[in-house]
Amino acid sequence: MSRWRIGDVTITKIVEQEVDGGSRRLLPAGTPEWLHAHLADGDACLRLSIHSFVVQTPARRIIVDTCLGNDKRLRPVAYWNHRQGPFLAALAEAGCPAETIDTVVNTHLHIDHVGWNTTLRDDRWVPTFAEARYLIAGAELEHWRDTATREDTRQMLADSVVPVIDAGLVDLVETDHRICDEVSLVPTPGHTPGHLSVRIVSRGEEALITGDFMHHPCQVAHPEFELTSDSDPAHGTRTRWEMFDRLAGQPVLLLISHFAGATAGHIVREGGGYRFCRALPPG
């Protein structure tokens, strides 16, 4: 568990799973030779993490993305199925038990970002965060409802999205929606059509929870490195160029949804491009 302060806001990272040597099929351009030659930290494997961020403002307690979840089935990765992990216990240990969460933000509707939306109880999927409003981009939900031809996607919607809709807990929002004084959404499409990031601003300090507009540090040096899971790879590349140009050299702490280890850092300019500079671990 890591924790950062942005003015009056506390952000806590809750890890569900870290994997060393993740599938290179996800990022085919990131060959071992390229990574060895160009990654400043010398990490030449796709080391990936699946985690949530809890954002606590003076008035709100928000969880951004809800990982894989327990008891799910028909997932495309074998060890994502029928999990029995301690995610909810970790939330409680961090001082953020599920019943205290008032807002859930799904940056997009991929399987590894919606799993803990629901919990299996008496053979029924029920909302995990029963006191919360679930914020989903309207364009994102429309896309997946219209294009859910794969069995695993249909199952994800059935067990992790539809139950919270049926419970009347979902607010369909625009990708630039403002949640509260300190927290707002930022459109970052490409990985999915309604993909969004989360901006936190307080007392002159700023952070950005990226979601999946990038997955690995090599995409900072090479924004054109596309992900096989991008719904619109060209748009995803444009989003990275635009976001890196906006963020480079700025004191904005990036909290990246799949970077393992330190997770946080800044974008700096290097030559004609960019580099990810990891921040010191939070105290």
Q: Kindly report, residue by residue over 186-243, the tens digit of the pLDDT.
A: 999 999 999 999 999 999 999 999 999 998 888 888 899 888 889 999 999 999 999 9
In this prediction, residue 282 carries a pLDDT of: 63
Enter the pTM of the model: 0.93
Provide the token pair at 66. 């809800």
Average pLDDT rounded to a whole number, residues 232-256: 96
Categorize the per-residue pLDDT at 33 as very low, low, confident or very high, splitting at 50, 70 and 90: low
Q: Mean pLDDT in the chain?
A: 91
In the chain, the largest separation of any two C-alpha atoms, in whole Å, equals: 58
List domains and CATH numbers for the chain: 2-278 (3.60.15.10)
In this prediction, residue 283 carries a pLDDT of: 54
pLDDT of 130 strictly over 90: yes
**264-270 vs 252-255, strand pairing mode:** antiparallel
CA–CA separation, 205 and 5 (whole Å): 9
Categorize the per-residue pLDDT at 271 as very low, low, confident or very high, splitting at 50, 70 and 90: confident
Q: 244-255: b or e for each residue (b if 16 or more CB lie within 10 Å)?
A: beebbeeebbbb
Q: Decide: 139 and 175 in contact? Cβ < 8 Å.
A: yes
Amino acid at 222: H
**133-137 vs 196-202, strand pairing mode:** unpaired
